[in-house]
Every structure is written in structure tokens, then in C-alpha cells.
Amino acid sequence: MWPIEKSPCHFRVVRRPRAVITHGTAQELGSAPRIQAQGSPIARTAGQTTPLLQRMDRDGVCILLVGEFDDAPLANSAVSLGAMNRCLSMLLALSIGPMVFAQDATAKPDTAEPVAAELQAKTGVVYKTVGDVELRLYLFFPKDHLATDTRPAAVFYFGGGWNSGSTEQFKPHARYLASRGMVTAVCDYRVKKRHGTNPFACVADGKSAVRWLRSNAKRLGINPKCIAAGGGSAGGHIAATTGVVPGLEEKGEDTAVSSKANALLLFNPVFDNGPDGYGHNRVKERYREISPLHNIAKGAPPTIVFLGTKDSLIPVATAENYAAKMKAADCRCDLHLYEGQSHGFFNLRNKKHYYLTVLEMDRFLISLGWLQGEPTIKQPKPSK
């Protein structure tokens, strides 16, 4: 069988120098109730072997087009792009010789359009205004990135117990993922010491940031279906809420644009706001509204978690419980435990564990199809 790109972030066009018919099962390709191939409907059922596409160009090359539509792969011909108009917009130049290419983050269209200068400013871009408070995202772009690209993205939230913190914390992570081909951001959000707010405001800001990225996907050159949220401690809590906690949206925002992250990158996150969890005194009887552990349901995004076994704030048992509930909901949760490490062990100052956690984060994103190739992070030299 020809190789098929399964990632929701990309689609692949394959041209081969012989006329063949490609077949695939519903389990291999996902399920869709009905698709169009060269104007003829094809029904697919589980386990059924179905011809996806047979099309000859004038060079005698058979073409296969596989893409993503409403989270289900579709096959279609260059003649019948209407069924994929929400996902793919592409013309096949049939005069090109036999080749294989991917329409992904590195492909540059003929009408290349740079990202607007204001989005690249070091002073950040305002994603939300509350009263006289302007909240900013600090964006990082891959080399030679264009607004016409469709790259995966990630936004990071700093830790600090919803009380304080700095956007500097996750800039190393953001810069690294940008170097690997993602558009990344670190998010400033309201905290108690600067703004007199509670954790509910923090969560609302976190969701606003994801919504802003998705609303501006075409300006930023990102795929709105591939936005990850990450963070540490309370910032990890905010990230987790963007993936699993319904509601708590900022009033007045366009909720037709989803604030739900498509993947979660969680560094010793606050999972449990219940009576025995962290920060319960800040949310009290409303804990079920805001606690990620109490809101896991089918459809939660794929998640990776990093935790030290000596973390005094986030017990290992809590993380294991979270992972077990994710599994029970048929959702992916990769839990990585680091023996003897305490809270905040993943930060850049701990070069060994910064490296180890970023390496696993990279591999996780590769497994989702969001990154290509091998991780490029350099292993730190052992201290003398």
C-alpha cells in the first residue's frame, strides 16, 4: 500500500509512475459515511476493502489524494474537491513529472505571504483586553515562515500558583518548538498579585488565548485544528482546562470559535482542585467547574505529563489517577515520572531534565504527526 499521512495537520498527494488501484480498510484510514471519488459515491464500512481512487493524468501517473475532513480522512480526486472544501484547497498540476510531495508546513505556495510585522513584534501582540489591562502573547515563528503556511501551533502558560509568574519561563520551550517547525506562543494572563484575580480568571484568559490563535490562524500561518496548550504547575492547570473543562469562557467572546486545545503538554500540572487537591481553598464549592481531574470525558485531547516523584505539591497518585481516567475515557495520556525530582524540575536551569522532558515532548508531537524528522535538542554535557 502507498504511504498515507494520518496526521490531521497535513495531507499528502502521491503520484506514482504506473496506473494502479490503491485499496485501504476503514480501520487503516478512519471512517466516513460517504465520500466522492471522481463523482461516484463510495460507502465505507469497518473492515471493508474499498478502492480509494483511480485516476490517470496525461503522463500515465496514478494520483492519490488523502486529506482530513471533520477528523475523518477522505480520499478524493482533483475533479471532486467540493467534498473537501473545508479542509483542502489545492490544484494538481498534471504536467509535473512523477513525484511524491507533502502539503505541509514547509511547502511554499506561489503566492507567498509573510506574517504581518505586528505579529512578530518582540513586545508581543494583544490577544485580550479586560478593562485597562492588555494581555499579550509573545510569538515565535520558524525560519522562513509564511502566513500562507499551515503549521501546528502551541501556547504555553507560566506557573506561579495563579498568584504570579513570568512569561520567560517557557520561552526556551517555545523557541525550541519554533526551530522544529511550529508556531509557538507564551501567554501572559491575569494573576492575583498583579490583577487581584482568582483562578477562574486565569482559566478564562487561557481559553481566550487558544481562541485568539484559532481566530487568527490564517494571519499566523497555523492549522486551527492543531493547537497545543502547555504549561507548568498552575500554568499546566490552565493548559489542561483548555482541553478538558467545559465553559468558563470570557463573556462577550465569540464562542463559535472553539477554545479547546488539540493536544496538551503538561509539566507537573495542577490536576485536582477537589477537597484533597491543590488550590481547593481558592475555588471551594466550585471546584468541579474548574478541576481537570473532575472533567475528563471522551474526546479529551492527547496528553503528555511530566512529574517528579518527589513533587511536594502534585502527588504521583494524582497523576496516575488522571492517566487512568483518561484511559477509561479512551483518551491518550502519556505519564512520564522522574525519580527523585521535585516541583519545577523541568525548567531550563535543570539542564538535564529540561533536555529529557523537551526530548519526550518532541517525540510526543512526532507521534501525533505534528513534527517531522528526529528531535534536534542537544544533550547537555555532563557536569564535571
Q: Which residue has the cell 513534527?
A: 371
Give the model's pLDDT for residue 11: 36
In this structure, which amino acid lies at residue 103? Answer: Q
From residue 316, how far is each of 31, 126, 270, 322 by CA, in Å? 37, 37, 12, 10
Residue 290 near residue 244, CB atoms below 8 Å: no
Please count the other Cβ atoms lying within 10 Å of the Cβ belonging to residue 25: 14
- For residue 250, which amino acid is it? E
**Which three three-digit cell numbers place residue 215?**
481566530
Say yes or no: domain 117-367 is CATH 3.40.50.1820: yes
| pLDDT score for 7 | 43
pLDDT in tens, the chain (384 residues): 333 334 444 433 333 333 232 333 333 333 333 333 333 333 333 333 333 333 333 333 333 444 433 344 433 333 333 444 444 444 333 333 333 333 444 454 556 788 888 888 888 999 999 999 999 999 999 999 999 999 999 999 999 999 999 999 999 999 999 999 999 999 999 999 999 999 999 999 999 999 999 999 999 999 999 999 999 999 999 999 999 999 999 999 999 999 999 999 999 999 999 999 999 999 999 999 999 999 999 999 999 999 999 999 999 999 999 999 999 999 999 999 999 999 999 999 999 999 999 999 999 999 999 999 999 999 998 776
State the pTM of this model: 0.73
Buried b (16+ CB within 10 A) or exposed e, 191-228: bbeebebbbbbbbbbbbbbbbbbbbbbeebbbbbbbbb
Question: In the numeric block, which cell numbers belong to residue 9?
Answer: 495537520
CA neighbor of 203 nearest in space, from 178, 153, 231, 239: 239
CATH 3.40.50.1820 placement within the chain: 117-367
Distance of CA 372 to the CA centre of its chain: 14
